[in-house]
Amino acid sequence: MNKVFLDTNVLISWVFIINSLHFKSEKVFEAYSEFFWSTFVKKEFDASYGDKLDCLLDFFRKLQKYLENPEKEFYSIGDLLKFAKENYSGELLRNIKSSIFPFWNEYLGFESQIFFLDMEKSIEYCLNDLSLNLESNKLKLEKLMQLSPIRKKNYHNLDAMLESYGVHDEDRIVTLDGHDFACFSSEPVDFVTFDDNCFNGANNLDVLCFNSIKGKYDFKAS
C-alpha cells in the first residue's frame, strides 16, 4: 500500500504508547509508505496531544500522591478504574480509561494484583516517559507526516450527507480534507479513522474519492 490520509485519532494512538488503540496504529504505519494530514488535522492533533498529556500527567501524579498513604497493600486494574471514576468525568475520564489497561500491561505486566510500592515505581517510570520520551514520539510523527494542499471547496452536499449519518463536525472536516486530497492525487489514497461514526458515515458515501476507507477493526494483531 502507498498513500494514506490519517484521522487525528490514529495519530494520537500512535504517539501515546499507553493507549488502547496503540497497537492498531502501529499496524497502520506498517501498512503504508506515505502519510498525509491536513492543516486542520495537524491543529487538532496538537490540541489533543496537549490535552491528553496534561490529563495523564495529572492522573498519575494524583495516583502517586494517593499511594503515599495507601489504604491497602495490593492494587488491581479495578482499583485504578475506581480511582479514575472518583476523580474525573467526561472526556477526561475517557482519556484516562483508554490508558489504564495499556499502562498496566506496559509497566506492571500481567499480574492481577500489584504491591503498592511496585505500583509507585511503575508510575514514576510512566511519568518519566510522559515527561521526557513522549515528545520524541511526536517529533518522529511530524517527520513522517506530509501536509496536504489547503482545501478550497466546501463540498456542502457531501458535508450534509455525512452529517445525516451522524458524523460530527470535526470529523466531517477531516473526511472532506482527505477526500479533496484524494480527488487530486495522481495515486490512490486510503483514509483511516478509528472513530466508528466517521468510519461508518464515510463508508456510506460511495462518491468519496478514497481508494479505500478503513477503521480500527481492519488492523489486527499478527
Confidence label for 213 from pLDDT (cuts 50, 70 and 90): very high
**Cell numbers that stand for 75 in this block:** 492494587
State the Rg of the chain over Cα.
19
Query: Is residue 81 predicted with pLDDT exceeding 70?
Result: yes
Whether 198 maps to a domain, the answer reads yes
43-74, pLDDT tens digit by residue?
A: 999 999 999 999 999 999 999 999 999 999 99
Please, what sign has the CA dihedral across residues 141, 147, 152, 155? negative
76 and 128 part of one domain: yes
36 and 71 part of one domain: no
Task: Give the structural domain span for 118.
Answer: 63-135
- Work out the average pLDDT over 5-30: 96
pLDDT at 116: 94
CB 147 within 8 A of CB 37: yes
Q: How large a percentage of the chain has pLDDT more than 70?
A: 99
pLDDT at 1: 63
Query: Is residue 222 predicted with pLDDT exceeding 80?
Result: no
123 and 148 part of one domain: no
* Strand bridging mode 145-147 / 114-115: unpaired
- CA 214-216-217 angle, 5° bins: 90
Whether 55 maps to a domain, the answer reads no
29 and 70 part of one domain: no
72 and 128 part of one domain: yes
Whether 57 maps to a domain, the answer reads no
At 17, which CATH number? 3.40.50.1010
Whether 58 maps to a domain, the answer reads no
The count of structural domains within the chain is 2
Query: Is residue 178 predicted with pLDDT exceeding 90?
Result: yes
Whether 203 maps to a domain, the answer reads yes
126-154, pLDDT tens digit by residue?
A: 999 998 889 999 999 999 999 999 999 99
21 and 69 part of one domain: no
150 and 104 part of one domain: no
Out of 105, 135, 165, pick the residue that ends a domain.
135
Confidence label for 103 from pLDDT (cuts 50, 70 and 90): very high
- Work out the average pLDDT over 171-186: 97
112 and 94 part of one domain: yes
Q: How many CB atoms lie within 10 A of CB 16?
A: 25
Whether 23 maps to a domain, the answer reads yes
pLDDT at 111: 85
- Work out the average pLDDT over 68-87: 95
45 and 150 part of one domain: yes
Whether 28 maps to a domain, the answer reads yes
Angle between helices 169-184 and 196-203 (to 10 degrees): 50
Q: What mean pLDDT is reported for the chain? A: 95
Out of 135, 162, 196, pick the residue that ends a domain.
135
30 and 67 part of one domain: no
Out of 100, 135, 170, pick the residue that ends a domain.
135
Whether 56 maps to a domain, the answer reads no
207 and 188 part of one domain: yes
